[in-house]
Structure 1
Amino acid sequence: MAARGAMVPRATATTRRVAPGRLLSRLEVADECFRDTTRPADSMNIAQLSLDNIQEYGEYVALWFDDRSITNVEQYHHSSKLARMLQTHGVAPGDRVIVMMLNSPDVMAAFTATWKLGAVIIPVTPMWTAREVRYLMEDSHASMVLTSPELAARLVEAAEGIETIREILVIGPTETPGVTEIADEIDSAEPYTPMFAPAPDDMAMLLYTSGTTGDPKGVILSHENLVASIDMVHRNLAGIKDVRTVSSLPLSHIYGVLVMNMGFRLGTRIRILRAWDTQAVFEAIQELQVNRLSVVPTMLTYMLNFPDRDRYDVSSLTNVGSGGAPIPEAVRVEFERVFDCTVKQGYGLSETAAALSGYRPDEPYRVGSVGRPLPGIDACVLDNENRPLAPGESGEICARGPQTMRGYLNKQQATREAIIDGWLHTGDIGHIDADGYIYITDRKKDLIIKGAENISPKEIEEGIYAHPAISEAAVFGVADERFGEDLVAAVVLRHGASATETELQSHLSGYVTKFKIPARVVFLDELPKNNTGKIQKRSLRDQFADLLRNPAGRLGEPGASNPRQVGSSDDRQN
C-alpha cells in the first residue's frame, strides 16, 4: 500500500481510455484516466470516481448549469485546476477546507479538488448564519474557506479573530474586504495531476449536523466510508443505465453528496439548480427528458401543488427516490397517479454516509417501508437495554457496516452513545419485518408522551394527509398541565381549499383513537423547513410552546400564524 501522504504514481495506459468515437483532446489526462493498478483497492481516494467515470463512459455532456453544458472531461479539468490553485494557497493533506456556496459546478469541483489533495472538505449550508459558521470554524480548526461573492461578507464576519483561518477564497468578483478573488487564478492554473493515496480511515469529509439540543456535531466520514456507501448503493441499483436527472438537493447535505457521487458511477446527466425551484424542475424534466429524481417529500408536495404542472410534458419521468423524511403515503400515491411514475423511499443518515436501506429497481414497494438493508449492511432493532427485538417489535433501528462514521469530532461521549458494540444507534424508532424490510415510525425525539403514553406523530400525520384540503402537516407535542404533554397539529391548506379545526379533528376520529386527536390545529401559510425542505418540528415546538398553557394564544383558524423558516439541519435521510 502507498504510504499515508503519498501521491499515487501515474497509471500505465494498458486498457481502453474512452468509448469509441470519444476524444480527450482538451485535457492531457491520458495517463491518469485509469485507476492506478499498483494501488490496493482499500486505499481508493473518493475523488477517483471522477476519473473512473471518464474511463467507463468516455467524454459526454454530464452537466447543465444556467445556459452552459459541461462535459465530464471539462469538469474534471476544472477540478484539477482548482486543486492546483488550492495547493498554491497552501492546502495540504489533512487540512480542513470549508466550502459554503450555492449549488454549482464549482461546488462539485471543490469536492474533487479537495480530495485529490488529501484535504478534508467541510460542506456548509448557505443558510447558516455567521454565528453558526463561526462555531463550525472554531470546532473544526479549518484553515481555508472557499465561497462565492454573495456569501463572502458573512464568512468574513464569522472568521473574525479566528487564527486558524488563513484565507477566505472567493470564486467570482467581490468588493468584500479581507478575501482573495481566485477566478482568474483558476483559469490560468496548470491542472494538478497527482491523486493522494489515503489510508482507509483518513478523514475525507466533516459534515456538521444539528440535533434538538446542544451544538452541531461534526460527523467524521473517511474515504472508506464514502467509497463503501457508493459501492452499496450501486450494487443495489444494478442494471440502471442512461440516468437523466435534475438536482437541487444541496451539496452541503449528505443526500446531495450521495447523488453527486452516484452520478459519477452511473454516468448520469444532471441539470444543476442552485436551489429548489418548482418551475425550473418541470422545465428541466421536459427539456432533458429526465427519467429519475432524488427528492425529499416536501418537493413532491411542491410539484403536486404547482398550478401550471399540466403545461409540461413529464412523461419521461419513471422513477422517484425520496429521502430526508418519511413520505406520507397519501402524497406518494397521489404523485404516482398524477405523474405516472414509481415512488419509493430509502433511508440513511449523515452518520452512515447517506446509505442504509433501499429498494432494488425491480423490487415491489411495501407501504410504509424504506426497503431492506443495502448489501454489506447489517440492521437490527434494539430495546432500551440494547437487547435485540423480534421481527415486528418496535424499538430503535441500529446498523453496522463499512459506511458507518468514524465518530463525532471532539465529542467522545456523543460518539460512545451513538456507537455501542459496533452498532450505530440511529435515534429512529421502528421495526423490521420477517422479510427484512425496515419501517421507520418516528424519531425518538419526536415521540410525544401524553399521560405516560408514547404517541407516534406519524400515524396522526398520515390521517391528516388523507384529508383532501391538506398540503402539508406536522404533529408535535407541547406542554400541558393535565397530561404533561399534548398534541398540536400544524397544517398548510392546498391552494383554494378550506378546512376548520373542528373539521380536521372530526376527520381524524376515523384514523386514530380520541386520545391521539390533536388538542389544537394551527393553520399556517408555510411550515418551517431546513435547507433540504425537511419540516423542522423543533421550530414549531419552540414557537407554540405555551399554546395550551395560554388560552389567549390558542390558534385554530387559517392564516393565524406564519413562522419564519429556520436554518437548522437534521440530516436523517429516511
Structure 2
Amino acid sequence: MDRVEAPWRWLERLPPQLARFAGQWRGKTIADLARERVDEDPGFVALIDEGRDLTRREWLDEAQALAGALHARGFAAGDVVAFQTPNWHEAAIIDLACAIAGLVLSPIVPIYRDAEVTMMLGDCRARALFTCTRFRRYDFAEMADRIRGDLPDLAHVFTVRGDGPNDFAAMVEEGRSLPPYRPEVDAAKVKLVLYTSGTTGRPKGVLHSHNTLENIVRKSYEHWRIGAGDTLIMPSPVTHVSGYANGLESPLIVGTRVVLMESWNADEAVRLIERYEVAGTVAATPFLVELADAARRAGTRLPSMRMFACGGAAVPPDLIPSANSAFDNLQAFRVFGASEVPLVSFGWPDDPALAARTDGEVVDYEVKLVDDAGDPVAPGTEGEILARGPSMMLGYADAAQSAAAFDADGYFKTGDLGVLSEEGAITITGRKKDLIIRGGENISAVEIEDVLRTHPQVRDASVVAMPHERLGEGVCAYVISEGGAPDIAALCRHVQDSGLAKQKTPERFVFVDDFPRTASGKVRKDRLRAEVAALIEQEKTSA
C-alpha cells in the first residue's frame, strides 16, 4: 500500500511555543501506561458500557491484537486512522491500538454526515475509517460506501459491531495469532487530529501529542482529587476532546474506571451512578441540571458523587448552587477550555461561591487578556483570552491556520472574551469567534449561511446564536429573501439535504430587508443576537 503523506509534514520538530514546557511531560504514551496498569492489577474492570465490562488485561490484549492486524494490512507509524462510533468500548480499544502502533487517530462525531465526514477524512488524508454499521436508525456503513469514491487516500473501511473479515471483532481475532507489533513510539509526536468548527466552513484539525493529552488529564485529576480506583461516568461523546480524554484515556493515565453512556438519559445516569458508586463526571452544563432533577424524582441524593466539571455552554450564576442542593457531597463547578487548549481552568472544587460565579481557576496555563490591538488589559478588564501551557495543541493540521492561531509569544488566541481576577479566577463574558455552542457542540454559522445562500429564494443569510432554555444556545437564521419569503419547512429541508448534521438546521428564521452593518459593510451580528434574545424574552413574558 502506497504511503500517504500527512498534511502536517510542516511540523517536523516541537513547536517553540511548546518546547519551553517540555520539562513538565512524563514522556509516556497510553500504551506505556496501559502496560503499567496491567502489571498493577490486570483484572481491574477499567471500562463499562452497555455491552461489556472490560478489564485492563482484556483492553491491552485486544488493542495489541488490533495493532497487529492493522500492521498486517500495511499500516505504519504516522498513518491516520479515523473512527466514527458512539460511546462504545471498541473506541477505547481502537484508541489504544493506534497508540501501540504509532498511528494518528482522528475521532469523528457520530452526528456528522456526508459533508462533514468527507471534509474531515480528506483533510487529514485518513487511510482507514472504523465506522459503526447502524446507530439510531442511520446507516453509517452505507454513508462510508457513498463517500468513499471522493476520498482517494481512504484505502480501508472497517465496521464496528458488523460482520465479515473487515469487522472490528474479526480483526481482533486475526491479530491474536500474529506476532506482537510493538514499535518504538515517540510521545512527542502527533497522536490525535481532532476537528473543531471555526468561524469558516472549513474545519480545523487540532493536533495533539501523547504528552499534551496525558499532561492535562493527570494534572486536572490531581486538582479534583480523583485517583486510581475512582469511577467516572461519561455521557459526553468520546469523539469530543472532553469525552475522549476523560472517557477513553483517564483509565490508563490515572487508573480510574469509566462507565460509558451511549446516549444521555438522566434517569439512567442516576441508576448507573448508584450501581457503580460513581465519583464524578466532566460533561455539558445541561446534563447537570437534568441529573439534579432526575435525582430529586428518584428520591436519592447520590452520595458517591463528589465532582461535576461542567462547561461548553453558558452557565447562569444560580445554576451551580441550585444543582448542588440536590446532592449530599457533590461540588459542581465551571471549567473553561477548548480542543486547542484543553482545560485552561480546572474549576473551584473547594469554593462554592467562586465555582458559581466564575469559570474556574487557571492552574496549568499562562494566561493573558488583550485588547483588539493585542495589548494586555488591566486585571478585571474584559479582553480576549490568550493561553499557553504544556497541554496546548502542537498546532493545526494546516500550517497557515496554525501560524495565525498564536501570537508572537506563543500564546493561543482563543477568540473568547473574559476577565481575569487577581486571585486567578477567569470568567467568560462572550466570544469573538462566530460560533454557536448548542449543548456543548460547536456549530459554525458560516457553513450554514453558505448552504442557505444556495437556495433560490435566499439572497443573503446571517446565522447567529439565540438563547435556548435547555441547550444554552440555538440556531437562528436571519434571511434576506428573493422573490417573497420562502417556506420555512422548505428551507429546513434544504439545509438537511445539503449533508450537514441535523442540529445545524436553524430552529428559527427571521426575514428582514437588510442586516445592521458597520461602516465598512460588515454584518453587526452582535445586534442580531441581541434582537433575537429580546424577541424570545418578549415571547416568554407574553406567554
TM-score computed with the length of structure 2 as normaliser:
0.72
Question: Which whole-Å deviations, capped at 9, do the CAs of 1:363-405 have from their partners, x for residues lacking one?
Answer: 5551322222223x21111111221222111101111112221
Q: Is the 8 A contact 1:44 1:198 kept in 2?
A: no
Match 2:321 to one of 333, 349, 352:
333
Aligned pair count reads 438
Deviation at 1:93, TM superposition (A): 0.3
| Equivalent position of 1:138 in the other structure | 122
Q: Give matches, 1:107-186, under 5 Å.
A: 107-150=91-134, 151-173=140-162, 180-186=166-172
| Equivalent position of 2:237 in the other structure | 250
Q: Is the 8 A contact 2:86 2:110 kept in 1?
A: yes
| Equivalent position of 1:531 in the other structure | none
Deviation at 1:186, TM superposition (A): 1.2
Match 1:230 to one of 211, 217, 238:
217
Give the Cα–Cα distance (whole angstroms) in 2 for the partners of residues 433 and 270 of structure 1: 35
3-state SS of 2:91 partner: helix
Give the Cα–Cα distance (whole angstroms) in 1 for the partners of residues 192 and 180 of structure 2: 21
3-state SS of 2:340 partner: helix
3-state SS of 1:439 partner: strand
Point out the structure with max Rg over C-alpha. 1
Match 2:279 to one of 281, 291, 302:
291
Deviation at 1:197, TM superposition (A): 3.2
3-state SS of 2:372 partner: coil
Letter in 2 for 1:371: G
Q: Is the 8 A contact 1:63 1:70 kept in 2?
A: yes
Give the Cα–Cα distance (whole angstroms) in 2 for the partners of residues 487 and 100 of structure 1: 28
Question: Structure 1 residues 208, 239: CA separation in 2 closer, same or farther (over 3 Å shift)?
Answer: closer
CA RMSD, 1 decimal? 3.5
Letter in 1 for 2:433: K
Question: Which whole-Å deviations, capped at 9, do the CAs of 1:168-215 have from their partners, x for residues lacking one?
Answer: 01123359xxx9334223124227645443345421000000123221
Q: Is the 8 A contact 2:69 2:175 kept in 1?
A: yes
Residues 1:380 and 2:368 are matched in the alignment: yes
Give the Cα–Cα distance (whole angstroms) in 1 for the partners of residues 381 and 399 of structure 2: 32
| Equivalent position of 2:53 in the other structure | 69
Question: Structure 1 residues 365, 94: CA separation in 2 closer, same or farther (over 3 Å shift)?
Answer: farther
| Equivalent position of 1:401 in the other structure | 389
Larger displacement relative to structure 2 (312-321 or 187-196): 187-196
Deviation at 1:345, TM superposition (A): 1.6
Give the Cα–Cα distance (whole angstroms) in 1 for the partners of residues 465 and 119 of structure 2: 33
Match 2:65 to one of 81, 91, 98:
81
Give the Cα–Cα distance (whole angstroms) in 2 for the partners of residues 487 and 95 of structure 1: 38
Structure 2's unaligned 5+ residue stretches are 1-23, 135-139, 438-444, 446-461, 472-501, 516-531
Deviation at 1:61, TM superposition (A): 1.7
Deviation at 1:103, TM superposition (A): 1.0
Residues 1:279 and 2:267 are matched in the alignment: yes
Letter in 2 for 1:180: N
Greater relative contact order (CA < 8 Å, ≥ 6 in sequence): 2
| Equivalent position of 1:54 in the other structure | 38
TM-score computed with the length of structure 1 as normaliser:
0.69
Question: Structure 1 residues 557, 153: CA separation in 2 closer, same or farther (over 3 Å shift)?
Answer: same
Give the Cα–Cα distance (whole angstroms) in 2 for the partners of residues 493 and 79 of structure 1: 38
Give the Cα–Cα distance (whole angstroms) in 2 for the partners of residues 382 and 74 of structure 1: 49
Question: Structure 1 residues 486, 355: CA separation in 2 closer, same or farther (over 3 Å shift)?
Answer: closer
Give the Cα–Cα distance (whole angstroms) in 2 for the partners of residues 82 and 443 of structure 1: 42
Deviation at 1:95, TM superposition (A): 0.2
3-state SS of 2:326 partner: helix
Give the Cα–Cα distance (whole angstroms) in 2 for the partners of residues 246 and 357 of structure 1: 21
Larger displacement relative to structure 2 (392-401 or 355-364): 355-364
Question: Structure 1 residues 442, 113: CA separation in 2 closer, same or farther (over 3 Å shift)?
Answer: same
Structure 1's unaligned 5+ residue stretches are 1-39, 448-456, 459-475, 477-484, 495-535, 561-574
| Equivalent position of 1:342 in the other structure | 331
Question: Structure 1 residues 85, 385: CA separation in 2 closer, same or farther (over 3 Å shift)?
Answer: same
Match 1:322 to one of 310, 318, 334:
310
3-state SS of 2:238 partner: coil
| Equivalent position of 2:14 in the other structure | none
Give the Cα–Cα distance (whole angstroms) in 2 for the partners of residues 334 and 548 of structure 1: 43
Q: Is the 8 A contact 1:80 1:192 kept in 2?
A: no
Identity across the alignment (%): 24
Give the Cα–Cα distance (whole angstroms) in 2 for the partners of residues 58 and 209 of structure 1: 36
Letter in 2 for 1:186: V
Match 2:251 to one of 263, 266, 269:
263
Letter in 2 for 1:416: A
3-state SS of 2:318 partner: helix
Question: Structure 1 residues 47, 543: CA separation in 2 closer, same or farther (over 3 Å shift)?
Answer: farther
Q: Is the 8 A contact 2:227 2:256 kept in 1?
A: no
Q: Is the 8 A contact 2:369 2:384 kept in 1?
A: yes
Question: Which whole-Å deviations, capped at 9, do the CAs of 1:337-383 have from their partners, x for residues lacking one?
Answer: 1223211122221002x2321146545551322222223x2111111
Residues 1:204 and 2:191 are matched in the alignment: yes
Letter in 2 for 1:202: K
Question: Structure 1 residues 293, 228: CA separation in 2 closer, same or farther (over 3 Å shift)?
Answer: closer
Question: Which whole-Å deviations, capped at 9, do the CAs of 1:314-334 have from their partners, x for residues lacking one?
Answer: 232222111223422222121
Deviation at 1:491, TM superposition (A): 4.4
Question: Structure 1 residues 324, 202: CA separation in 2 closer, same or farther (over 3 Å shift)?
Answer: same
Question: Structure 1 residues 196, 326: CA separation in 2 closer, same or farther (over 3 Å shift)?
Answer: farther
Give the Cα–Cα distance (whole angstroms) in 2 for the partners of residues 270 and 488 of structure 1: 33
Letter in 1 for 2:260: I
Deviation at 1:287, TM superposition (A): 1.2
Match 2:431 to one of 400, 425, 443:
443
